[in-house]
Structures are given as C-alpha cells and as structure tokens.
Structure 1
Amino acid sequence: MPETKYVFITGGVMSGIGKGIVSASTGLLLKSRGYRVGIVKVDPYLNVDAGTMNPYAHGEVYVTEDGGETDLDLGHYERFLGENLSKKHNITTGQVYYNVIMKERKGEYLGKTVQIIPHITDEIKQRLSSVARETGVDVLVVEIGGTVGDIEGLPFLEAARQMYVELGSNNVAFVHVAWAPVLSTTGEQKTKPVQHSVYELRRIGIQPNMVVVRSPRPLEAESRQKIALFSNLSPSDVISDHDVDYVYEVPLLLESQGYAARLLSRLGLQDREPDLEAWKSFVDRLKSIEKTVNIAMVGKYTKLRDSYLSIVEALRHAGVAVGVKPNLVWVEATEVEEGKIKVEDVLSTVDGAVVLPGFGKRGAEGKIRAIKYLRENNIPTLGICFGLQLSVVEFARDVVGLENANSTEIDPSTPYPVVDLLPWERDVKELGGTLRLGASQINLVKGTQLYDLYGRDVIYERHRHRYEVNPKYVEKLVEAGLIVSAWSPQGLVEAAELPRKEHKFFIGTQPHPEFKSRPLSPSPPYVGLLRAAQTK
C-alpha cells in the first residue's frame, strides 16, 4: 500500500469554473482533520512555466518561495493551506516533454522508440510520486488544468488512469468539476453539460467518484438525481458548488454537504472532527464588515482582474484585520497616459492606492502621473515592484529635479538612469526563468514605517524583477528626502518611503509581499495601507 493517497481533480465544459478553488478547499478540509496534504497543479500548455506569459493570457504569474513562476492556482493553494509550496507543485507539458527529450538525447531510452505511452505518462507519474515522497504527505491533491477532451491534457488523464490501476481503488480518487448553467430565458438549471463531460471522462477510462457541480444557484434535487444517474453515482456523491460571495466560503459549503467525509471514505481514511473554527471566524468577519474604503488599483492589465489576483486577496485579508472592506477602483494606466482619463478625476475620490506591478513601457508614464498626484495630495499609497521603481522615477524628476530621469527598461538613453538593470542580468540571453525570483533576505531599517509594520529586523519576501533602484543615485535621492526602509544583504534597495511628517503613508516595495499574505496572517504592508486609508 502506498504511503500517499491521490485525489485527481478534473474539469469539464470549460476552464475557469473553479477547479482551483475546489482543489484548495479539498486540501483545507483534509488538513483540518489532521492529515498532511499537498497540492499539485498540472498545466497542459507547452510553456515550461508561466513566466513568459502575458497576464491577459493566464492571469497573474504566482511566484513560489523557491522562485518558481507558476499558475495563479498555486496562490489559492497556499492561501487555503497556509503553507508554502515549491516550484515542483506546478507541472507543465513543457517540463515533461523537455525532460523526456533530454533523457532521449542522453541515451537513457537507448534502442527504444520514445512514445507518449509509456514514456510521457511514466514521466508524469514519476513527477507526482516524487512530490509525494519528498513532502511526505498523506494525501496529494492533483488538479489537472483545462477540460476533459482537450488534446493537451490527455497524457495527464491517461497517467492518472494508470495510477488508479496500479495503486488500487482505495488509493486514488477522482473528483470531476463541471458547469450546470441556468438559462436566462427560462430560469431552468441544465445538467446536460455535466452529463457530457462525465461521459467524455468515462470514455477515456476514468469513472469519477464524486461530481462537484458549479452553478449560479444551488443544485436542485432533480438536477442532482439526474447527474447521479448519468454518472453512476449516489446522489450524495454529487455536490453543489454554487456561487457564493467569497471563495473562502467554498470549503464550508462543501463541508456542509459531507464532501470531505465521502472523499476520505473512498480513500479508506478515517474521518476525523475538522478544526475549522479559525476559518469560519475569518469568513464571518469578512462577510460582516460594513465600513468601506476606496482603493485605486493603478495598472496596465486592469481589464483582466486576475492579473493582480494575489494583490486583491491581500487587500481582502488586510481588510478583515483592519475592519474595512476595500472597494477597488480600477485605473488603467494606459488610458491615463493617452489622456483618456484625468488622474485628478478618479484619484480625488479614493482613500488609498496601490501602484501595481508590470513590465514594459506601455502605461508607465500614466503610472508616473498617478504617482505624482498621490504623492502631492497625501493619499496613502503602496507601490509594488514596478510601482516602487516608478515612484523613484517620479521622485527623481519632480523632487530631486533630475529632468527626464527614468528606468532604462523604459528609456535606455535616459540621462539619469535612477532604475537600471541588475548587473548579473546584463548578459542574460533567455527570458524564461532568468529574473530575480523567489524569497530572499531583506534587512529592515529601524525607525521606518515598514519596520513598524513588520516589527522585526529581517524578513523574507518574494521577488520577480530584472531592474533595481540604481545604487549610484541613492545618496542623491536620500538627500532630497526619500527614506530607504529596507536593504538586501548585497546593498540593493528593497523598499523606500516618504517621511511620515510629509506623507501619511507612501511606501514602495521591490518584492511582492502579497504572495505571502494569508487569510489568517495578512501581509503587513497591505494592513498598513488600509489602516492609513481608513483614517484619511
């Protein structure tokens, strides 16, 4: 009998319906019963990782502690589990094929014809069992991205089917997540899409043990019976995952229907009394907050809010801690830059702002205009990564007086490169995986607002960038009033802020503290922003 049990989460009808939340909720519910749980996201795309993707293509790139550029679902996993995962918890087709081809080139398959079955499927199984073995978990939840029937995902589904055969029915379970729409014309809840996706799953050899049905409203008894009948399941194995106000309610919704107990029974594991009190308390506080603050979100990918998912959730976590609900006001920096939006029209109405991260020239001048308004009008502001860098550019131009100061990312010929390429990035030829990535040591400066927020000398936050504040200009910036509030051990600026006597709250951080924000442990800079915003 294997040491680790496996739960495969598959999806049907369409992507983006909430498999990631179901996977994260599964992990939380099993962990609440005292089991050690890990979660892996399988992405069938050929990219080696998510690092080179435009956020409009796939949402934000989530960075793990060890520097993995991964799918945003790993953010959900870490927030629900309250644990740090590694880059190994995100497996892509690109990684699998790359490894198999490298083995072939080295002669490890000498004399054999390399094929999808068994070589690709064996590689997939080896990667999953390796994660299970290295982490020592009792249960490994594996979310298979995309939808059943996608040609890209078939090798992963085949590998999962093989694991079921090899490990036995008590050691592998399948949970299928599918969409049951409600027709706007008749108000009827339709189960046919769920039936078809289950049929497609069974056609390739996988019988789901449970079906989780996403729908705008609770699953009706008749719909449940129909889905159960066509899926060869008991009605109690068909779970309603209808729309709720917050994703953090989903574990409690599934728990109320006996989801975890049924799953543990399928895996031959003892059902224990769950410890969900802290989670329930968080959800209750989240839903009961009435006071709101308006927070401007100044960025260049605002048309897809998932581009900044971890920041949105970090604000939500901080809001519960502070007792306010952040009402997000999205400001498209490109439209500011093009003159379609006047910063004073939108920013004069907000209580605080986040200058969002991003890469490239587009929208940069729009962000700088917004930063100038926020600074001059004493509006609490938090700049993240590129937000810090452009805050330094604005300060250099408008306070220090360095006309046309810029980042060399935006203007390589700027006379005052106050933000410049990291020295070790200058000879980099490939874009993928070559940024400064993952958590590293940051030394906080006593007496600064940032130090007061964290309350300790040393922190570890995650990075994802290629440019830094240019050390050659730090002295000039500090002389003009900018405060460096955090340094790397190598002497790089990790955070900067404006003096409290001049500005209530204006902090920029080079790392992304939102990646380590958790519902029960919010990120200090986001807490600081909302505290300042509520007293504006």
Structure 2
Amino acid sequence: MKYVVVTGGVMSGLGKGITAASTGRILKNKGYKVTAIKIDPYINIDAGTMSPFQHGEVYVLKDGGEVDIDLGHYERFMDIDLTSDHNITTGKIYKTVIEKERRGDYLGKTVQIIPHVTNEIKERIRHVAKKSGADICLVEVGGTVGDIESMPFLEAVRQMRSEEEKEDFALIHVTLVPIDTMDEQKTKPTQHSVKELRELGIQPDIIVARCKRPLNKSTKAKISLFCDVPEEAVISAHDADDIYKVPIQLEKEGLADYLMKRMSLVPLNDSQSWNEMVRRMESADRSVTVAIISKYGIEDVYLSVKEALKHAGIAMGTKVKIRWVESEDLEKADDVSPFFADVDGILVPGGFGMRGIEGNIKGIKYAREHNVPFLGLCMGFQLAVIEFTRNVVGYKDATSSEFSATGTHVIDILPEQKDIKNMGGTMRLGEHKSWIKDNTLAHRLYGTTKISERHRHRYEVNPDMIDEIESHGLVFSAKNDNRMEILELPTHRFFLGTQFHPEFKSRPERPSPPFLGFVKAMLEGKKPEAGKITAKAEKHPLST
C-alpha cells in the first residue's frame, strides 16, 4: 500500500479537498486503484447533527455515513463509493480508545495521546486502506497546521512516515501564495507554514501553492530554496473557473510526473475520459436556468445538487444556470410568478424544519399549475405531496407531523423513528432499494425496475392516504414495501419527486437519471433554436 497524505497551512478554505480529489483522479487516470480517507479534527462523531449554517452540506455515503462534503468530491472525482470508515473524526478515535480502556484492553496502562491515540489513528488508516483493495490511499488531514485539534493526527502521520518505506509514503502540503499591493507573489506564508510542519517532525515532499495566477519561476525557486523541496515539486494551483479543470491543471504543472517518480510508480494507463468530459463541459452551446428554492441561503448546503445539475448539463451539452430563490421571500409574496417568470425549471431540495415551508409549497404549486418542469428531493418530494393533497385532493389542512401537531398528516413520522431519543445517525440513512412501476416516467429515466439510492429522512408519505391521493392523478411510481419513493404527474411535462437524494450518486461521467431527465425537460421547453437536441446530446443513453 502506498499513502499520499494531504495537509494544509496558512488558512482554511484553500482547497485541500479538491487537491486530494484531483490527485486521486490523476492517479486513477494512470491506471491505479485509489481510495481516500478524510480526517476531521472535530470532536463530533460525524457531521450528521451539525447545523447547515455552520457546516454546509452533510454528504451521505452508501452505508449511511453522514460526512463532510470533501468525501463527495472524492466520490465524484474518482468515481468510487466510500463508507463511513473513510471519515475519521476525533470523536470516533477518542470514543474507541475510551471503550478499549473500559474493557481493559490496555492492561492497566496509563492511556495517553502517544502511543494509544496515535496508534488508533494509524490502525484505522491502514485498516481502511487494506480493506478497500486499492493500490494507493489518499489521506486528507482537515484543519490547518498549527491547530491544536490536528496535533494527534499530524503526529500519527509523522510516525507512519518513519514506519513505511520511503517510496510508499508522500506528503503534499497545500499553502497560500498571496499577492501584495505591488503585485508581487509573496512566499513568506508558505515558508512559515512549512516551518510549523518541520517543528512537528514532518517534511513535505510536494508543495501545492494556491495563488491567483500561475507561480512565477522566481517564486517557485524561492519556495524550493526555503522549504527544501525540489523546484519540480513546487506545484502552482492557480485559480480555475471550474473545479473539474483542477486535475488537468495540476497534471500540466507536473504533479503527476513528480509524484509517480517520488513513489516509484510507472503509468499503467493514460485515460483521457476526464479530459474529454471537461471538453464537453466547455463546448456546451446551450443553456437553461433552474430556480432552486432555498431554505438556508448558503450555496454549500446544496453542493451535491449543484454538481448533479452540472453533470446532467454536461451529458446534454448544456450549461445549467442556477437562480437562488429564498423560500421566505416566496412566503411573503402575494404573487410568486415574478420569481419564476424566466426560469426553465423549479427544484426544491432537501431540508428540515418549518421555516420557509409555505414558500416552498407556493413554488411547487406554481410549477404544477404552469406546467414548469419540477424536481423535488426528499423534503421537496414530501412538500409536493402536501401541495397536491391541499390543492387537488381537497384537504386544505394537509401538512406533515414534522411541522404541526394538528391537521391532516399526509406526511408522518416513520414508525421506527417514533421512540428514538438520540439524534446522531438515527435517521433512515444510506442506500435502500426501490422497485419502479412499468410504463412510468421513473422507469423511462432509470431503464430498470430495481434501483438503489441514498436516503436521509425521518418522515414518509402516510400509507393510509396513498390510495386517495393516487385516485386524483398523482402516481407513486417507485416503492420500498409500503414506503413511497418516487412520485410523478403523468399529465405534466416533467413533475418528479424522490424521497431519496439522487444527487449523492451522480458523477461527472455518470449523471443521475432524475437530474438528466429534468435538464432534458427544461431543454425541450425552450424555443426551437435552444430546444433542438444535438447529436452530441443524443449519444447519452438517457437523452432520448
């Protein structure tokens, strides 16, 4: 097993996750099987109970792990499926160490950060790497060098480096090279960051320098001299206008060549599929605009939705533009039509809580009544049921037991959720199978009657009301036993809702079927010039 560890210095938000994901993609292009681990130094067990206002999106893995958005980047860039074992947090480590101490596993020894905590960290990394069957394991250490929370993890990295063969371990350090008022690239922040690493006993092998524009040769030479890395190992990671261009950019800058040489690797392949995908993305000659009705007002909360729309757009040769619409603004409006006057589709994503719900319902009603393509995800699916039950079936007090103790609970809590007290990791999570009815929109989109998609919810459509709802024209086209998984309106151009989150399985080269169908429907609603399906789009199996 070979390990590539990615650390970050100077400040947070530099793009360690994208750097790690891009490195993984580069190695995958060279023919190697790659897996990835994200270390989050927070004491939470996982990201499941964190506020979206603080943490952004909670990404859901196939086994139900609720994790940081960086694992979503890993899955999308490398086209792999990870599990909760691939996310290591301080909370997980300390919980395990304390449980071992209580069982007497340490034979009465004084339990300390070194060696007990660091050993646990190393054991977890090696276990996940081995279990994956990969050739190379990427490990991203969250936080910034110098943070007190990261210290045990960096010490574990230092120990692993000495325990592994030199060619089996490489460390990439991501830093910042700012530009001063004289338009000069400054290396001092990078020098200080590497100095902090060295004080911990760690010497980086490669420095990836985040900067506004490509590094000057003199800047590279200065970083090389002061940080004791070869000049060819100083990689310019200047701003890109799309994250999917970063692997190509880093490879052009020499990251692949140096890393392969440093780890005694030889190319087994030279896949160009990623480059071809980026070329398709850049050559898209049409566009559609989708309104996303937001509860949280923070784009990162809906990162996977944005990416899934982009994936579908790439397959259809189309740029998908997003207009963010605040649900609370819709609540206050007597007439919502100005919000949607020039959009091609409306999307309602997942979420929790009562705030802004009535605004979402107004948006769904507008989509249904004006034949505007609509896609509802998780909460959006449930709100579409509520809107239909209120305004078509006739239950004006239709609601969810999540929002109100009174009224007609067309959406109700899952039976197994009723007695749950702990909040972390207790929802209906991860991949569950659904069975799709023949001759439905869902069947045409997926091309099969059996699917598996990722979930994150506590509420469901009330089974006692399904027959009455369907008698008025809404079709539940996919089910898991008596749980409704997909809804659609056959009389509508495109009106689809999913109880699951299809965005979590969407990939740049394998777009999610509901998103692909949604973008196709928006395109077909355009005027003849923009609505024409080109040969490029027809090549995709789901574009016809």
Q: Aligned partner of 2:106: which letter? A: Y
Please say if 1:197 is aligned against 2:189: no
Q: Which residue of structure 2 lines up, in the alignment, with residue 493 of structure 1?
A: 484
Residue 324 of structure 1: how far off its partner (Å) = 1.1
Please say if 1:268 is aligned against 2:264: yes
Q: Aligned partner of 1:487: which letter? A: K
Please say if 1:422 is aligned against 2:414: yes
Which residues in structure 2 correspond to 1:410-449 (within 5 Å)?
410-414=403-407, 416-449=408-441
Which residues in structure 2 correspond to 1:308-387 (within 5 Å)?
308-339=302-333, 343-387=336-380
Q: Aligned partner of 2:355: which letter? A: R
How many angstroms apart in 1 are the aligned matches of 2:274 and 2:435?
A: 32
How many angstroms apart in 2 are the aligned matches of 1:413 and 1:120?
A: 50
How many angstroms apart in 2 are the aligned matches of 1:497 and 1:343?
A: 23
Q: Deviations over 1:387-417 (max 9, x none)?
A: 0000101111111110111010011222x10
Please say if 1:104 is aligned against 2:95: no
How many angstroms apart in 2 are the aligned matches of 1:370 and 1:189?
A: 48
How many angstroms apart in 2 are the aligned matches of 1:342 and 1:298?
A: 15
Which residues in structure 2 correspond to 1:220-239 (within 5 Å)?
220-239=216-235
Q: 3-state SS of the aligned residue for 1:46? A: coil
Q: 3-state SS of the aligned residue for 2:167? A: coil
Q: Which runs of 5+ in 1 are unaligned?
A: none
Q: 3-state SS of the aligned residue for 2:3? A: strand
> What's the Cα RMSD here?
1.2
Identity %: 51
Kept in 2, the 8 Å contact 1:265–1:271? The answer is: no
Which residues in structure 2 correspond to 1:125-524 (within 5 Å)?
125-183=122-180, 185-275=181-271, 277-302=272-297, 304-339=298-333, 343-414=336-407, 416-488=408-480, 490-499=481-490, 502-524=491-513
Q: Which residue of structure 1 lines up, in the alignment, with residue 530 of structure 2?
A: none
Q: Deviations over 1:466-517 (max 9, x none)?
A: 10111111111101110111101x2100010112xx3100100000111111
Kept in 1, the 8 Å contact 2:31–2:267? The answer is: no
Q: Aligned partner of 1:349: which letter? A: D
Q: 3-state SS of the aligned residue for 2:171? A: strand
Q: 3-state SS of the aligned residue for 1:7? A: strand
Which of 32-41 and 118-127 deviates more? 32-41
How many angstroms apart in 1 are the aligned matches of 2:157 and 2:100?
A: 22
Residue 272 of structure 1: how far off its partner (Å) = 4.2
Q: Aligned partner of 2:253: which letter? A: Q
Residue 196 of structure 1: how far off its partner (Å) = 1.5
Q: Aligned partner of 1:70: which letter? A: V
Q: TM-score, normalised by structure 1?
A: 0.96
Q: Deviations over 1:364-401 (max 9, x none)?
A: 11111111111111110100000000010111111111
Q: Aligned partner of 1:83: which letter? A: I
Please say if 1:65 is aligned against 2:34: no
Residue 271 of structure 1: how far off its partner (Å) = 3.8
Q: Which runs of 5+ in 2 are unaligned?
A: 526-544
How many angstroms apart in 2 are the aligned matches of 1:324 and 1:281?
A: 15
Residue 228 of structure 1: how far off its partner (Å) = 1.2
How many angstroms apart in 2 are the aligned matches of 1:226 and 1:334?
A: 52
How many angstroms apart in 1 are the aligned matches of 2:310 and 2:183?
A: 33
Kept in 1, the 8 Å contact 2:32–2:268? The answer is: no
Q: 3-state SS of the aligned residue for 2:26? A: helix
How many angstroms apart in 2 are the aligned matches of 1:469 and 1:138?
A: 44
How many angstroms apart in 2 are the aligned matches of 1:224 and 1:364?
A: 52
Q: 3-state SS of the aligned residue for 1:170? A: helix
Which of 104-113 and 5-14 deviates more? 104-113
How many angstroms apart in 2 are the aligned matches of 1:21 and 1:165?
A: 27
Residue 73 of structure 1: how far off its partner (Å) = 0.8
How many angstroms apart in 1 are the aligned matches of 2:270 and 2:191?
A: 32
Q: 3-state SS of the aligned residue for 2:85? A: helix
Kept in 2, the 8 Å contact 1:8–1:173? The answer is: yes
Q: Which 4+ stretches in 1 moved above 4 angstroms?
A: none
Q: Which residue of structure 1 lines up, in the alignment, with residue 6 of structure 2?
A: 9
Q: Aligned partner of 2:228: which letter? A: N
